[in-house]
Structure 1
Amino acid sequence: MADPQALDPTQQSLWRPLRLLQASMDADIAQIYSEGQIEGLKPSFVMELLRLNACGPMTITELAESVGRTHSALSQKVAAMRAAGWVETIAGDDARSKKVTLTDNARSIIGRLAAEWRATEAAVADLEAELPYPLSRVVADIEQALERKSFHDRIAEKLAEDPAWG
């Protein structure tokens, strides 16, 4: 009988626990919103909403650059935030451009979102203080390792050794 992991390599994943942990923590933040009677808000929207509040209306390109995301990813997120009633588009500096801005609904809760952001960051700091090796240190160490050799190059080397790829 064939090895199940050979048939389905997704059965093994070193980073699945990290993704599941982040999803669980995001679910806890979503529960905070629900308990605070903030309906229809995804934790993944909050950085952009806070950035728009701090910087004012921005094009999707400007917003994407300010949060370190691609234009394509931000375009999809803005569409979802617009559908949920958190942002709208307004005329830009010329007739062809549009800017993303907060809706009145978003402006009415932005102070609460800033408070949640601060509380979440403080909770993460408390959590990291309990750990022998904080995740922020792990991330910095991974970034340094990837400066020495990119993730792309590391994957390409492994693929060169795998006859199924060649």
Structure 2
Amino acid sequence: MDDPTEQSQWRPLHELLDRLHAEIGRIYTDREIKGLKPSYVRELIQLHLKGPMTITELADTVGRTHSALSQKVSAMRTAGLVRTVAGADARSKKVTLTAKSKKLVELLTAEWQATEAAIAELEAELPYPMTQVVRDIEQALARKSFHDRITEKLK
């Protein structure tokens, strides 16, 4: 049997995104910031701007599932970037920034803006904008989901 993973149209996209995230991560490494990942920045900025939130509220704010955010909050807590405190009732917890992450918010905001500017610069060098490709893919997926496309190929 041939190895089906040797050829992939999917892998180059993943590898590109991984490289871009790694380069953003170097910004933190250069500044000797431990435990911070590029995937945490949006949540940390939202917590700074909107204050403590439950995991559900934070998940809604960033458009993720409760389960995904619960795992991310756990990892950010381990990294010392957030803590959880009792919420309005015994069942809920609020996620709040730690002193460590409060000190980083200005850098994170500047990095976010610099990253957006770098993406705009990169798009200007391309024959077509990456953001247009994303919009086109979203429109195609609105017509037929990725799940449905894969399922059809499995039949």
TM-score normalised over the length of structure 1: 0.89
Q: CA RMSD in A?
A: 1.1
Distance 1:136 1:37 in 2: 32
Counterpart for residue 84 of structure 2: 89
**Structure-2 separation of matches of 1:34 and 1:157:** 44
- Percent of matched pairs sharing the same residue: 65
The answer on 1:65 being equivalent to 2:82 is: no
Q: Which residue of the partner structure matches residue 48 of structure 1?
A: 43
- Stretches of 4+ aligned residues off by more than 4 angstroms: none
Structure 2: 5+ residue runs without aligned partners?
none
Any residues of structure 2 matched to 1:4-83 within 5 Å, and which? 4=2, 8-83=3-78
Superimposed CA distance per residue, residues 27-47 of structure 1 (whole angstroms, 9 cap, x where no aligned partner): 111111111222221111111
- Consecutive unaligned residues in structure 1, runs of 5 or more: 161-166
- Residue 131 of structure 1, aligned match among 113, 126, 131: 126
Deviation at 1:113, TM superposition (A): 0.6
Deviations 1:65-122 (A, max 9, x none): 1111111111111000000000000121223211000001100111111000000010
Q: Which of 137, 142, 145 lines up with 2:137 in the alignment?
A: 142
- Give the SS at the match of 1:99: strand
Q: 2:34·2:79 contact (CA, 8 Å) conserved in 1?
A: no
Amino acid at match of 1:156: T
Q: Which residue type is aligned with residue 26 of structure 1?
A: H
Larger Rg: 1
- With the length of structure 2 as denominator, give the TM-score of the two structures: 0.95
Given that 2:81 and 2:101 are in contact with CA atoms closer than 8 Å, whether structure 1 keeps it comes out as yes
Q: Which amino acid aligns with 2:118?
A: A
Amino acid at match of 1:42: K
Greater relative contact order, per chain length (Cα 8 Å cut-off, separation 6+): 2
Count of equivalent residues:
155
